[in-house]
Amino acid sequence: MMETTIIRKNSEYSPPSSRKKLDIKKYQKNRNITQQKNRQHDFYTLAEQARQYVYTIYDKKVEQRASGETKEDYVSIYHEAMQGIPSSVNLIKKHIDDFVVEQGLRDTPFPEYYRTLVDALFEEEFGWGPLSAFRYEKDCEGAQVLGVDIKFKRSWGWELQSFRFKNVKQVLELAQRFSNMNARTTLNEHTNPEMETKTHDNIRVSIMIPKRMHGEPVITMRRKVIKDLSFKNLASFGTIPNSAIPLFESLARFQVNSVIAGPPGCGKSTMLQAFLHYACYEIRNDKKVPERINTVYAESYPEFDVREIHPQSNILHMIGRGQEFEKIIMASILRHDIGRVVLGEIREHEVGLYRRASLQGIKQVMGTLHDLDPINIPEIMGNLYLQYYPNGTESEVVYETFARNLHFAISMDEVLYEDQGKEQLEKKVTGIHFYDVDVQTNEIKLYTIMNFDIYNKEWVFNSRIPERFERLVKKYHRGAFEKFVATLRLLEKRGPIQAGE
């Protein structure tokens, strides 16, 4: 019987000279990529197992509390851990560490944007995920998640990071985690597709999800990197000139109405807190003590703990929603002997409190506003008021009310510098402007007393001050006003504003 040999196609013999050589570098590279993918899979598998382990402990502790075996309230502990409160976070991390040790997996590789394996497992399942890297960049003032991409705000602008979220689902879970930090915030695609909140460590969080966003969510975080809120410190950062510090100190104390205006991220909130840092205290008998008037600090979302920033100050920190600002908070203010009203941000309904306070005997009203041109501020505030308080008042009357009750504005912006081939953004006060209204024509006149010359990179000054401003300030601060004018004239002599500026 003849033996048959079956030869498979493509398996024909080829001599050694015609065979392909093994590319050892390519082989090793592919092998490393495969191993890296396997290691990452091991980490994410471990993260899921750690989460289930924590849930098991959670369920057991809840049952023990219900039966009276323990007083430990794990519902509160778990919720506080999600908020980032250190003591509760550390307790959850302790359970994760116990699990890792029990499994003998301490050497499991983890993504490089985490500090330790336990930190990585906690952040991946209970914290901020890859965005947690922002916590450890103390000099970084902002971060943003757009879709799955992560950006950090540097001195020169937004920088895309090399790491990202696994998928949009993980980003939406983080958005809900932020929403759950505060009982007053809700987030859903139908009725509340955007929200603002604040983390335990005072990082401001703004979120928009579909259907407000098209197809992907955005999470923007901002934190204050300047701790010293003195005007001297702001001058050291180049925000204001050293020579003009006396001007800002005087403006902080003058009992007139003002707005700090500029685009998002230009330093308006920091400047507002610097004003309060100076205005809320005085020197008596060689001691720094709280000033003798009460201040209300009102906002919709608590961006700052102003009593912590300004300890022992006479500041009443109030939170409002909707028309509460004009109808309820204003009535409360009048019952508590308030001399100054500060609005963290003038928008939507907050503009109603600005209007009512300036009309009803509050000597100083101030706040921040998104705006690029100071001449537009009264019109912007008037339009906001009519939009949210449609009470039949004519637009011209509302406009005139805001124009007559706004006395000065500080404009701010970010200015791009190039130094030794490197670009850098600096937050600058680009101008100080006084307002006056012509009695006959109701025309608004703008007097710019300080302006930043962007071409020559220097501040210039003008000592012409409207009669209305002088009259109002002299009523309570004659000596301080004379010193203010003397300083301004000296600065004008050194660097005058040229005609047309």
**pLDDT tens-place string over residues 362-415:** 999 999 999 989 999 999 999 999 888 777 678 888 988 999 999 999 999 988
User: Encoding tokens for residue 104?
Assistant: 């003998």
- Identify the sign of the CA torsion 388, 389, 391, 392: negative
Considering the chain, what is the average pLDDT of its residues? Answer: 86
Q: Cβ(250)–Cβ(478) under 8 Å?
A: no
**pLDDT tens-place string over residues 367-380:** 999 998 999 999 99
Proportion of the chain above pLDDT 90, given as a percent: 54
- Identify the sign of the CA torsion 167, 170, 172, 175: negative
- Judged against a pLDDT cut of 70, whether residue 18 lies above it is answered with no
- Judged against a pLDDT cut of 50, whether residue 247 lies above it is answered with yes
What is the number of H-type helices and E-type strands within the chain? 15, 17
The DSSP annotation for 281-342 comes to EEEETTEEEE-SSEEEEEESS----HHHHSTT--EEEEE--TTHIIIIIHHHHHHTTEEEEE
**pLDDT tens-place string over residues 142-175:** 999 999 999 999 878 899 999 999 999 999 999 9
Buried b (16+ CB within 10 A) or exposed e, 14-32: eeeeeeeeeeeeeeeeeee
Q: Which of 213-217, 257-261, 387-391 has the lowest mean pLDDT?
A: 387-391
225 against 309, higher pLDDT: 309
- Quote the CA–CA distance of 205 and 226 in Å, as a whole number: 18
Predicted confidence at residue 492, as pLDDT, reads 96
- Identify the sign of the CA torsion 196, 373, 430, 250: negative
Class of residue 246 by CB neighbours under 10 A (exposed 0-12, middle 13-18, buried 19+): middle
- Judged against a pLDDT cut of 70, whether residue 19 lies above it is answered with no
Specify the residue for token string 């695609």.
189
pTM: 0.72
* Structural domains of the chain sorted by starting position, each given as residue range(s) with its CATH number in brackets: 30-127 (no CATH), 134-225 (3.30.450.90), 231-494 (3.40.50.300)
**Torsion angle of the four alpha carbons 413, 315, 278, 378, in this order, in degrees rounded to the nearest 10:** 40
Mean pLDDT, to the nearest integer, of 293-301? 90
Closest CA to 141 of 427, 471, 430, 464: 427
150 against 334, higher pLDDT: 150
Predicted confidence at residue 188, as pLDDT, reads 86
Mean pLDDT, to the nearest integer, of 315-324? 89
Q: Name the pLDDT band for 501 (thresholds 50, 70, 90).
A: low
